[in-house]
Amino acid sequence: MILNNNINNNINKENKRMSTIVHISRHDGTIKNMNEVFRDFHKDFHKNFHKDLVYFETIKLSLSSESLSESSKQAWNAMTEPYISFNTAKSIWNDIHTYLKNLNTKTVIVTDTSMLARPFLQNLDNHDMNIIVYVTNRFDWGKEFIREFDDEYYSLYSYCSKVKRVKFIADNKYDQYYCKLKNIKCDYIGCTPFLYFDEMPISLEKAFIYDRGTSINYYKEHIKGIEFDIFGPNNKYIDTKFLRQYKCFIHLPYQVNVQSLHENLGYGVIYFIPSKDFLKSLITPDNTNREYYWEEAFRNAQLLNASVELSEWYSDHLHDCFYYFDSWNDLTVKYSALTHDDIIAKRKIIYSIISNNNDINMKKWGTAWGTAWGTAWGTAWGTAVPHSPLA
């Protein structure tokens, strides 16, 4: 278990009016993103409603805690499995509901995989907590690990998405679209990364790539005339700020959205990625070798096309953050032409775009809180929060 200690240092946990928001996730990236949301929310909430206290607790699954009972530890461990069945969800709820009650849990937020919400949605009649399912991957991710079709899962999520105290929110347009195809009411709120900017020039005249998705050999085969370093699980970089010393990140997107994209943009990391048409040519059925990895490549034609069109990489709100290349030769030409002045100018553009997006997304989170808890909570940011439905 990981607690957001930076947020909670000055909170008296014994105060009877204190309520708790519990964030459950497996993923460091979604934890960082929600921490940014919590920090802004917490700061302005106490500025405007100082008599009320809110406590934020993040539970990163797969980590045990001495403060948990053995049965609760087993329940959290069960939630680390990619697929959670009806019976497993029932067992998890039986083991952890008392723990959550003792925390005076007002709301549970689930990120990373929506399967984690099943114990809470399946037992809506047994608690009064608000449930926010932040969909950062297909809401049914995990079902591919079983052979039988779990119709009850789809029916449950569809039904619960219309319940007032439950909100499904996607961090990208494709996952929102996929939810709606399955009759799940789902809003959209993009990621809200930490922002950093300085005009310090780059110190390394080369690019970097990250070893995930498409194989490193594929990069090496196609990238010509460009020196690059390789990072990955076995060769980690120090932190995101460290990446700013490189000219750019040459990246072959492998999912419709990844948390690291927004973290990197928050620090002004410059991306070179395939243009939309070039990406489609690399992942179409005609590419029988399937050397390029795109998570939705084996979906039907409708979903495959939607996964590209609605991905964060080609979204209107991020489009100007990227340099797009139309061929491997075009990559070499555009990379070679990139100057230090270009880099500083691009970072300013990125900062402006992400700052504006963060403002929009935080107002949407304000609306989400307001829907779940009432208008006072929703206006806690200190700025006007729109009261119309989320876009």
Using one digit for the tens of pLDDT, what is the confidence trace for 69-99? 555 556 656 666 778 888 888 988 988 888 8
The more confidently predicted of residues 65 and 308 is 308
- Residues whose CB falls within 8 Å of the CB of residue 390, separated by 6 or more in sequence, listed in order: 169, 187, 188, 189, 364, 367, 368
Q: Which of 90-99, 245-254, 350-359 has the lowest mean pLDDT?
A: 90-99
Judged against a pLDDT cut of 70, whether residue 181 lies above it is answered with yes
Contact 156, 122 (CB under 8 A): yes
For residue 96, what are its two tokens?
């952890």
CA–CA–CA angle 53, 189, 130 (5° rounding)? 45
Q: Which domains does the chain have, with CATH numbers?
A: 2-188 (3.40.50), 204-354 (3.40.50)
Q: How many CB atoms lie within 10 A of CB 183?
A: 13
- Residues whose CB falls within 8 Å of the CB of residue 330, separated by 6 or more in sequence, listed in order: none
- Tell me how far apart the alpha carbons of residues 37 and 172 are, in angstroms, rounded to a whole number: 16
For residue 142, what are its two tokens?
């995990």
| Axis crossing angle, helix 28-48 with helix 340-373, rounded to the nearest 10 | 60
- Residue 19 pLDDT: 74
Q: Contacts for 220-226 with beta carbons within 8 Å, 24 or more apart?
A: 222/328, 223/250, 223/328, 223/331, 223/332, 224/328, 224/329, 224/332, 225/332, 225/336, 226/250, 226/331, 226/332, 226/335
Assign 353 a pLDDT band (cuts: 50, 70, 90).
very high
Contact 40, 75 (CB under 8 A): no
The more confidently predicted of residues 10 and 106 is 106
- Residues whose CB falls within 8 Å of the CB of residue 45, separated by 6 or more in sequence, listed in order: 52, 54, 377, 380
Assign 13 a pLDDT band (cuts: 50, 70, 90).
very low
For residue 325, what are its two tokens?
């290349």
For residue 281, what are its two tokens?
């040519």
DSSP secondary-structure letter at 384?
Answer: P
pTM of the shown model? 0.84
- In this prediction, residues 31-47 reach a mean pLDDT of 70
Q: What mean pLDDT, rounded, does the chain reach?
A: 81
Q: How far is CA 385 from the centre of its chain?
A: 22
Q: Which of 82-91, 159-168, 225-234 has the lowest mean pLDDT?
A: 82-91
Assign 8 a pLDDT band (cuts: 50, 70, 90).
very low
- Tell me how far apart the alpha carbons of residues 216 and 378 are, in angstroms, rounded to a whole number: 46
pLDDT in tens, 281-309: 998 755 555 689 999 988 889 999 999 99
Strand partners, 57: 3, 22
